[in-house]
Each structure stands twice: as structure tokens, then as C-alpha cells.
């Protein structure tokens, strides 16, 4: 039996989050969306999220995705893969070891799907 895969998309732009969720729905058993770190914390606590796509810039006065991913992977060790999603500042980001991949915005459907390794 294969593991049930759940992806969490964390992005403060509802359009980007919605598109990413629809695309990732082709790859994962379930995709859930959070627009803030606080929402993401609630979802991480109530779902066994196996894969994470997190925007780097989650809005003013919010921690960056690069700061959040290490915290979340420490607290929720069943996150098998974490991808950081970023626009203009992608070249300048110092990636922590807990980030498996950096994906630039905008990304094509193939790039988004290819950013994750999922065993089916």
C-alpha cells in the first residue's frame, strides 16, 4: 500500500496558491492551502502533510518561507520534501539545509510538478 500524500501550499497570493494547488492535485492525493504561517500551523497540526510548497515572501511582518521551513520540518518530521517558491529575490536567498529545492516564480506546470518526488 502506498503512503497517502498530502501537499500543503503556503502562499499569501490566493491566485498563485489556487493555481499551484490545482496543478499539484495531479500529483498528490490531497492538496490543502494556507495563506498565512498561522493557518499553515493549524493545517500542519491537523493533517499529516508529506510535501510542502511555501512562498518565500508571505507578506509584511511575516517570517520568510526560508525561516519557517526549518521550524516546520523539525516540528513535523513526516514532511518528506519542502520546496521554497520565490519570485524576484530567488538568486539572493541563502537556502537552509531543510529546503530541498528552490523554485522560481513564475513556474510552468512541468516545473512545479517536477519539483517534487512522489512515489505512487
DSSP E strand boundaries for 4-116 = 6-10, 30-34, 51-55, 81-86, 101-104
Give the domains, in start order, of the chain with CATH numbers.
6-114 (3.40.50.2300)
Average pLDDT score over residue span 31-35: 98
Q: What is the pTM of this model?
A: 0.92
Residues in the chain: 120
Q: Is the pLDDT higher at 106 or at 75? A: 75
Dihedral pair phi/psi, residue 96, rounded to 5° = -70, 160
Phi, psi of 30 (to 5 degrees): -150, 140
User: Residue 12 has what pLDDT?
Assistant: 95
> Sorting pLDDT into bands at 50, 70 and 90, what band is 94?
confident
Looking at the predicted structure, is the pLDDT value of residue 90 above 70? no
Amino acid at each position: 500500500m502506498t503512503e497517502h500524500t498530502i501537499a500543503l501550499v503556503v502562499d499569501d497570493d490566493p491566485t498563485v496558491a489556487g493555481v499551484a494547488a490545482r496543478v499539484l492535485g495531479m500529483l498528490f492525493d490531497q492538496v490543502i492551502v494556507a495563506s498565512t504561517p498561522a493557518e499553515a500551523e493549524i493545517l500542519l497540526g491537523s493533517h499529516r502533510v508529506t510535501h510542502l510548497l511555501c512562498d518565500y515572501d508571505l507578506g509584511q511582518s511575516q517570517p520568510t518561507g526560508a525561516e519557517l521551513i526549518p521550524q516546520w520540518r523539525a516540528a513535523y518530521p513526516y514532511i518528506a520534501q519542502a520546496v521554497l517558491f520565490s519570485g524576484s529575490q530567488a538568486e539572493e536567498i541563502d537556502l537552509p539545509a531543510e529546503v530541498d529545492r528552490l523554485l522560481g516564480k513564475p513556474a510552468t506546470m512541468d516545473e512545479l510538478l517536477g519539483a517534487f518526488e512522489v512515489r505512487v
